[in-house]
């Protein structure tokens, strides 16, 4: 089944459905025009009331503050996550994509984050872990530690991790392991050095191979994370053509 092709909104103030006609949309909690202001949030809810929505958390690698010597900040992170869950419920968001730290989790961290997952479930919000530039072991560890979260594969981050030698597993083997929980893709390309967020044709990552390997998977959304309108619409066109030819 063809996944929904969605757009990660760069600037809500300049957004229009005419300019960005997609199957769904992702808000950035750190994006321009997105604020925890109830007047703004109710306007967003009215504008997007019939759309398939997700949210990208504003947090970086959750719990990494503990090993950096600022354990008190982890409480702030969890409070921010709870706020994002409440905001999501208000505006009609169904999934939140988030990043996690690379190192081993303490028992307390596991307990506290499971509380966040339970809070999200009560509010009918799905929590989805997204890889940063990291090894496959980091991804497997997070998914094993938190079996109730699904996975968002950021292929731009993956490409950098491969080129920098952090990610060493064969791609087909990796996808076989994460496929049962892979529900989102963040789509953009680069040349393995910087997180450029280019269009899919401007980089050296073989995105078509990934989508072919994910045939008959649980992939529900491909969310475009390009910097410019031109790159976004070009990427949308390439994905639509890819699935048109596959379904022909």
> Tens of pLDDT along 69-93?
998 999 999 999 999 999 999 999 9
Above 70 in pLDDT, residue 242? yes
Summary mean pLDDT of the chain: 96
Residue 232: both structure tokens together:
């976004």
Report the candidate in 219, 211, 216 with the shortest Cα–Cα distance to residue 239. 211
Q: Write down the pTM of the prediction.
A: 0.96
pLDDT at 182 over 80: yes
pLDDT of residue 246: 81
Eight-class DSSP state of 12: G
pLDDT digit string, tens, across residues 13-37: 999 999 999 999 999 999 999 999 9
Within 8 A by CB and 6+ apart from 2, the residues are 243, 247
Half-sphere exposure of 205 (CA within 13 A, CB side): 28
User: Percent of the chain scored above 70 by pLDDT?
Assistant: 100
């Amino acid at each position: 089944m063809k996944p929904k092709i969605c757009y990660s909104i760069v600037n809500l103030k300049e957004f229009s459905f005419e300019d960005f006609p997609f199957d769904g949309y992702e808000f950035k909690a750190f994006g321009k025009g997105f604020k925890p202001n109830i007047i703004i949030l109710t306007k967003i809810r009215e504008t997007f009331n019939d759309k398939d929505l997700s949210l990208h958390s504003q947090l970086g690698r959750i719990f990494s503050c503990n090993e950096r010597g600022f354990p008190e900040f982890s409480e702030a992170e969890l409070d921010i996550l709870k706020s994002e869950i409440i905001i999501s419920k208000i505006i009609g968001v169904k999934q939140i994509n988030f990043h996690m730290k690379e190192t081993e989790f303490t028992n307390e961290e596991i307990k506290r984050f499971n509380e966040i997952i339970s809070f999200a479930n009560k509010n009918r919000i799905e929590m989805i872990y997204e890889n940063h530039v990291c090894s496959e072991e980091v991804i497997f560890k997070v998914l094993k530690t938190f079996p109730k979260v699904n996975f968002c594969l950021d292929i731009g981050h993956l490409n950098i991790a491969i080129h920098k030698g952090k990610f060493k597993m064969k791609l087909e083997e990796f996808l076989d392991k994460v496929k049962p929980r892979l529900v989102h893709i963040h789509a953009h390309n680069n040349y393995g050095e910087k997180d450029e967020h280019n269009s899919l044709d401007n980089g050296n990552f073989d995105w078509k191979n990934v989508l072919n390997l994910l045939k008959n998977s649980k992939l529900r959304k491909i969310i475009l994370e390009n910097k410019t309108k031109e790159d976004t619409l070009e990427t949308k066109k390439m994905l639509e053509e890819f699935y048109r030819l596959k379904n022909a």
